A and B are shown apart, each in its own frame.
Chain A
């Protein structure tokens, strides 16, 4: 008999069926109700936001406000929240005849923001450090954008709706899925925007607002799409792949948009002029278009679904609604795990793949995104040219006078003191490299002639000195203090791979 309970409030007896689920009279009304206001408000919000952006750019250009960091941050934070607030205002204004409980939509927004800040952004930025490797090659960019950035965000939006509102009786219309998921997505977007403002420490307000509205519009579109899938899953008995499909589609759309934006605004190099004072709006226009297109498509789909519900041809309600929902949820979580596993593979191949070398009796492997900068006098010099600039160097020198590693170290010290300023050894220890006893020393100095030739740069590094068979082998890591913590594990792997 469980199957005959209304699938919305799980209490009243079902009298009608839609898509294989029982509904009581009241919720049958709701489930077949088209909520045009939600879409009107969505489109209005898009237009309103574009006007708002133009206004901010205009004010920024005319007034050229010269704000100190703190007021700039405060204004930035306010501007970060504006897109979501604007959408909420439009939504409530359009929805006042059939109000959704105010608390629920606002709660979705706050939860989306909190989960993005607590889980979503830490996963992409701190755990996978996606910003460091996303654009290393095209395949990595696609996999990272879709499976990691898109996947994590889609799942956070899904989880916000699925675990905090899905089972409540207030989720009783098809359009509710779109509304709640959009609110959660705007929360996610707001978290991204706050992160952007805090990281960039303010900046040109016009340009910053372009970016933030672009982020908000794009994410609202992702949320809307996923919300459609959630809305149908709530009110109809859907196959088990339905929600996983929604999750995957949202991830793909998110990733595709990320890549498209990179194509539209690749950055620029211009000759003999000034960079344009106006911010690029290619991404913003694309995001606005995406939001409108998704709204129109979802509107059409819901309209069609309602029409079908009212046509009366319904499959018999057989399955237990709650049980079906649980299975669908398990499948969706599983899909997310699969997305994450693929993302981890992309991350691993971008970060951990190595180039092997065999030169002058030395064998080993260095990270494959390093370049070969071997110069005269080096056995090998691998450099992270397009990243940190860190160098892994193998060099040898004749040791006819039979110096020990300490003697070689002081030879090196003498040379470096001549070439650089403030050379200092900060730590020494005895260790082994490739099974041979070695002297490890950490050092730091100031390089007055860095790549620019303009500004001195503090360099920090580690030497491993091995004395064997009439020669000295020096394996050196050279980097900056900022990059040392990130580069040291790579260098340790490089050392482990060495044999000579």
Chain B
């Protein structure tokens, strides 16, 4: 009797644990689905021909990450012909692609997606046998078009329980796309007249105004800069990253120089962000 109770308890606990993990997995994956994609047919594919030559599928290159164009075809942006380095915040579709040599009979690809190391989505898809090279992609998107969770996304592609290839990519977060163009006007604090020829210097992250002055004003301490035109307007040569503390120096003939540390462009600032500067006469 005692033995039966213990057995019953073990079974129930196992069921509960399994149900819970299934629900967790479902809950995590519920928002994700396979987006439609037009994979170009392999060049010499002949579905009727026997595929005796191909017995094993293998990846010929690493996974690269792409986008889909209007026709749901895999596309790479001009500035990243080798694949994306990251997806920006707000992305609702990620497209990992790999190339293979051939497809044996009854082949199926299992795609496993992870987010920050946790498996969040898996799927299995059969492929037609083929003797020729081709590429495979499993575009993963959100069902409702909402942004995907930010973090490090990974993919593993399996065939017959053998890992073909894998890769990972950051989505959102600290990716370099989160920068803002900075424009502005330098004016006299009192008369509101524009000041022409004012120089705006933004120092490298971590260098304070005092560091810059004490360090003999090394050129390498300057991150970017600008000079105002006749209307007192400027645009910084390089964009600034949000949520980073910058030190800024503004100088103009006949005006008291401004040195300010800890200038931060908040996440919700518009792009381009306005940076109005007012200066006071030096005498």
Contact = CB atoms under 8 A, between A and B. Distances in A.
A268 B277 contact: yes
A149 B248 CA distance: 29
A386 B190 contact: no
Interface in B132-183: none
Contacts of B235: 452, 454
Contact of B191 (A204, A262, A273): A204
A148 B263 CA distance: 35
Interface in B47-98: none
28 contacts: A125-B283, A131-B254, A131-B282, A135-B282, A200-B193, A201-B193, A202-B191, A203-B188, A203-B191, A207-B192, A210-B190, A211-B281, A258-B283, A262-B280, A266-B280, A267-B255, A269-B263, A270-B275, A272-B265, A279-B190, A373-B219, A386-B199, A389-B227, A451-B226, A451-B237, A452-B226, A452-B237, A454-B234
A134 to B, nearest CB: 5
A452 B234 contact: yes
Interface residues of A, number: 55
Interface string A200-224: 1111100110110000000000000
A135 B237 contact: no
Contacts of A451: 199, 225-227, 237
Given A271-B263, A272-B270, A207 B190 contact: yes
Contacts of A360: none
A273 B266 CA distance: 12
B273 interface: yes
Contacts of A169: none
A267 B256 contact: yes
Nearest to B249: A386
B273 A271 contact: yes
Contact of A132 (B191, B253, B281): B253
Given A277-B192, A452-B235, 8 more contacts: A137-B213, A261-B280, A266-B256, A272-B265, A275-B276, A371-B217, A385-B199, A451-B237
A452 B237 CA distance: 6
Given A267-B255, A452-B227, A272 B274 contact: yes
A279 B213 CA distance: 30
A370 to B, nearest CB: 8
A280 interface: yes
Given A386-B251, A452-B229, A453-B237, A267 B278 contact: yes
Interface string A116-152: 0000000011000011101101000000000001000
B129 interface: no
A453 to B, nearest CB: 5
A272 B269 CA distance: 6
Nearest to A196: B281
Contacts of B17: none
A372 B213 CA distance: 11
A296 to B, nearest CB: 28
Contacts of A196: 281
B30 interface: no
Contacts of A268: 189, 258, 277-278
A58 interface: no
A387 B191 CA distance: 22
A267 B258 contact: yes
A200 B226 CA distance: 23
B219 A374 contact: yes
Contacts of B102: none
B251 A271 contact: no
A383 interface: yes
A280 B279 CA distance: 11
B237 A266 contact: no
A130 B283 CA distance: 8
A404 interface: no
B250 interface: yes
Contacts of B227: 389, 450-452, 455
A375 interface: yes
Nearest to B279: A267
A371 B191 CA distance: 32
Contacts of A279: 189-190, 192
B187 interface: yes
A275 B270 contact: no
A373 B199 CA distance: 16
A299 B278 CA distance: 39
A274 interface: yes
B218 A270 contact: no
Interface string B182-222: 00010111111100000101000000000001001111001
Nearest to B228: A452
A130 B248 CA distance: 24
Contacts of A353: none
Contact of A385 (B192, B217, B226, B258): B217
B229 A455 contact: yes
A387 B193 CA distance: 20
A358 interface: no
B257 interface: yes
Contacts of A204: 190-193
A280 B190 contact: yes
B219 A280 contact: no
A355 interface: yes
B231 to A, nearest CB: 11
A371 B216 contact: yes
B260 interface: yes
Contacts of A273: 274, 276
B276 A270 contact: yes
Nearest to A278: B192
Most buried by B among A203, A375, A383: A203
A265 interface: yes
Contacts of B265: 271-272
Given A269-B277, A454-B235, A383 B219 contact: yes
Contact of A271 (B193, B237, B250, B266): B266
Contacts of A372: 216-219
Contacts of B193: 200-201, 203-204
B130 to A, nearest CB: 51
Most buried by A among B190, B201, B234, B258: B190
Contacts of B222: 385
A271 B218 CA distance: 26
B222 to A, nearest CB: 8
Nearest to B219: A373
A269 B275 CA distance: 7
Given A203-B192, A267-B280, A386 B217 contact: yes
Contacts of A124: 283
A30 B92 CA distance: 91
A270 B277 CA distance: 7
Contact of B256 (A135, A202, A274, A371): A135
